[in-house]
Structure 1
Amino acid sequence: MKQYKYKINGNLYKVTVNDIDENNIATVEVNGTPYTVEIEKTVAPKPVTRPAAAPKTESGKPVVARPTAATNKYAVKSPLPGIILDIKVKVGDTVKKGQTVLILEAMKMENNIHAEKDGKVTAINVNNGDSVLEGTDLIVIE
Structure 2
Amino acid sequence: MKEYRYKINGNLYKVTVGDIEDNNVRVEVNGTPYTVELEKQNKPKIKPVVRTASTTPAAPPAAVTRPASVGSKSGIKSPLPGVILEIKVKEGDTVKRGQTLLVLEAMKMENDIKADRDGKVTAIKVSKGESILEGTDLIIIE
Question: Shorter chain as normaliser: what TM range?
Answer: 0.5 to 0.7
Letter in 1 for 2:141: I
Equivalent residue, structure 2, for 1:128: 128
Letter in 2 for 1:104: L
Aligned-residue offset at 1:73: 1.3
Contact conserved, 1:96 with 1:118, CA < 8 A, in 2? yes
Question: Do residues 56 (structure 1) and 8 (structure 2) align?
Answer: yes
Question: Do residues 86 (structure 1) and 86 (structure 2) align?
Answer: yes
Consecutive unaligned residues in structure 1, runs of 5 or more: 1-52, 63-70
Equivalent residue, structure 2, for 1:76: 76
Letter in 1 for 2:140: V
- Deviations along 1:11-56, whole A, 9 cap, x unmatched? xxxxxxxxxxxxxxxxxxxxxxxxxxxxxxxxxxxxxxxxxx7422
Identity %: 63
Letter in 2 for 1:79: P
Letter in 1 for 2:8: K
Contact conserved, 1:54 with 1:129, CA < 8 A, in 2? no
Over alpha carbons, which structure has the higher Rg? 1
- Deviations along 1:56-111, whole A, 9 cap, x unmatched? 227x686xxxxxxxx95111110000000000000000000000000000000000
Consecutive unaligned residues in structure 2, runs of 5 or more: 14-68
- RMSD, aligned CA: 2.1
Contact conserved, 1:76 with 1:115, CA < 8 A, in 2? yes
Question: Do residues 98 (structure 1) and 98 (structure 2) align?
Answer: yes
